Amino acid sequence: MSKLRPGVLLIIVAFILLITFNVLSFQQQKRLNQECQKCEKSVDDINSLPTQSPQNVKKPVPAERAKGVIVILARNSDVEGLNKTIPQLEATFNSKYEYPYVFLNDVPFNERFKKAMRGLSSAKMSFGTVPHEHWSYPSWINQTRAAEVREDMRKRNIIYGDSLPYRHMCRFNSGFFFRHPLLEGYDYYWRVEPGVDFYCDLPYDPFMYMQKNDIDYGFTIMLPEYIETVPTLWKTVKQFMKDNPDVVHPKNLLRMFDDGTETYNLCHFWSNFEIGSLKFFKSEKYIRYFEYLDKAGGFFYERWGDAPVHSIAAAMMLPKEKTHWFEDIGYFHNPFRNCPTNPALQANCRCDPSKSVHHGNNCHNRYLEAIIR
Ligand code: GDP
Ligand code: MN
């Protein structure tokens, strides 16, 4: 065999190297192409997945929310009532907004209560106990006299007249709920009671409505109070106004309580429903008013309710345009309801407008008259 010359050998080696490199490069390219196809295919797979129906997709909560909180004073035995009420509030309003809940009780809530509530909404929930001094006799009350009053009211069959816890509840709602530490940092509260019904889908956020329109007190129902529960309330309020003329707003709503006689016509906003400003209740003027009433003793020597106490304050201290009738919030607290008669509003509701308490309701008419004058 003849010997290959070194130059020829070099050319052969270079040729082999070139071929090998090309083959490897081709295989690499092929693998990358395959991967790319796989990748494109997987994107197509995602796109071809059956899309969820809009009802199944939870929309994010609106970015624009008020500092609002739903406040529920309840007992451990109120689970059943809340099992009905909270799903209605969620379905008609809060599932879209997830405003937090604060539950308050004069004794600690038990685990059964908390677990049941947490199953009703994905909104944040807090459970608080009322401080003892907000749910007990103040030092200046003569407890023997208070017990005698309850016994007398029992004999006269006055509603809740014989109940001490009911009086603590009314005093707490009149002067203390808004100071509970769990309500710190919120601007507006919506008071809800176990067992109430909500009938209408709300196409807007009432907390934002309060904020945008600078409203401090919102209600659904007005009624007259039982005179037996507040015989000296009006007299006390009048004395307070004389001693504290600065609290009476020049554009107040007090005319709706005054039929031209010296007496209170007993009308009030029914406070089992309220959407209100916490700043209003925490104001120095409101606290001065509450403390004056508290010193007078009528929460125990009579049976003053938080409804007339709140209502008189709102009518006296606020300019009338800072109050608002939530006509469109269909609401029932036994035995009365607010159900919109306006057909445009009624379309969102599941209630009978002919049963609405506002038909022929003198207190409500007085409010509407006072607000336009
Ligand atoms: P009514 O609406 O005037 O008939 O009175 P309710 O019995 O509905 O009471 C008003 C609110 O206070 C409701 O939210 C009740 O759950 C709450 N409440 C009443 N009494 C007590 C009580 O003794 N303890 C607690 N924790 N809540 C109470
Ligand atoms: Mn109630």
pLDDT in tens, 158-204: 999 999 999 999 999 999 999 999 999 999 999 999 999 999 999 99
Q: Phi and psi at residue 105, in whole multiples of 5°?
A: -150, 150
Segment 76-80 shows an average pLDDT of 98
Residue labelled with tokens 């201290």: 317
Give the number of other CB atoms < 10 A from CB of residue 328: 20
- In the sheet that holds 68-73, the strands lie side by side as 125-129, 101-105, 68-73, 188-191, 274-277, 217-219, 323-325
Strands 125-129 and 101-105: parallel
Residue positions annotated with a catalytic role = 274
Atom of ligand 1 nearest to the CA of 166: 20
> Token pair for residue 167?
């009086």
- β-bridge mates for residue 71, sequence order: 102, 191
CA distances from 64 to 189, 212, 216, 277, 364 (A): 17, 11, 19, 18, 33
Atom of ligand 1 nearest to the CA of 74: 16
Ligand 1, atom 28, residue with closest C-alpha: 74
> 68-372 sits in which CATH class?
alpha beta
Q: How far apart are CA 55 and CA 71, in angstroms?
A: 29
Mean of the per-residue pLDDT values of the chain: 88
Q: What confidence tier does 11 reach under pLDDT thresholds 50, 70, 90?
A: low
- Whether the per-residue pLDDT at 69 is higher than 60: the answer is yes
Q: How far apart are CA 140 and CA 159, in angstroms?
A: 25
Q: What residues pack around ion ligand 2 (CB closer than 5 A)? A: 193, 272
DSSP assignment of 289-318 equals HHHHHHHHTHHHHS---HHHHHHHHHHHHS
Q: How far apart are CA 139 and CA 261, in angstroms?
A: 36
Per the omega criterion (within 30 degrees of 0), is the bond before 335 cis? yes
H or E stretch covering 284:
helix 284-296
**What's the CA-to-centroid distance between 231 and ligand 2, angstroms?**
22
Residue labelled with tokens 């994905």: 122
What pLDDT does residue 30 have? 43
What digits encode the pLDDT tens for the residues 101-159?
999 999 999 999 999 999 999 999 999 999 999 999 999 999 999 999 999 999 999 99
What pLDDT does residue 357 have? 87
Among 110, 169, 189, say which to mutate for ligand 1: greatest number of ligand atoms within 8 Å of CB.
Answer: 169
**What's the CA-to-centroid distance between 202 and ligand 2, angstroms?**
23
**What's the CA-to-centroid distance between 170 and ligand 1, angstroms?**
9
Does the beta carbon of 76 sit less than 6 angstroms from any atom of ligand 1? Answer: no
- Whether the per-residue pLDDT at 256 is higher than 90: the answer is yes
CA distances from 228 to 160, 224, 301, 363 (A): 11, 12, 11, 18
> Token pair for residue 95?
């599932």
Question: Do the Cβ atoms of 339 and 349 come closer than 8 Å?
Answer: yes
- β-bridge mates for residue 348, sequence order: none
Smallest Cα–Cα separation from 118: which of 139, 97, 93, 90?
90
DSSP assignment of 31-74 equals HHHHHHHHHHHHHHHHHTSPPPPGGGSPPPPPS---SEEEEEE-
Across 19-33, 285-299, 301-315, least confident range: 19-33
Segment 329-350 shows an average pLDDT of 96
**What's the CA-to-centroid distance between 78 and ligand 1, angstroms?**
9
**Ligand whose nearest atom lies closest to the CA of 160:** 1
Q: What confidence tier does 259 reach under pLDDT thresholds 50, 70, 90?
A: confident
> Token pair for residue 319?
């300019």
Atom of ligand 1 nearest to the CA of 305: 3
What pTM was estimated for this model as a whole?
Answer: 0.85
CA distances from 252 to 104, 147, 266, 356, 367 (A): 32, 37, 17, 27, 12
What pLDDT does residue 28 have? 43
CA 150, 152, 154, 159 torsion-angle sign: negative
Q: What confidence tier does 16 reach under pLDDT thresholds 50, 70, 90?
A: low
What pLDDT does residue 34 have? 42
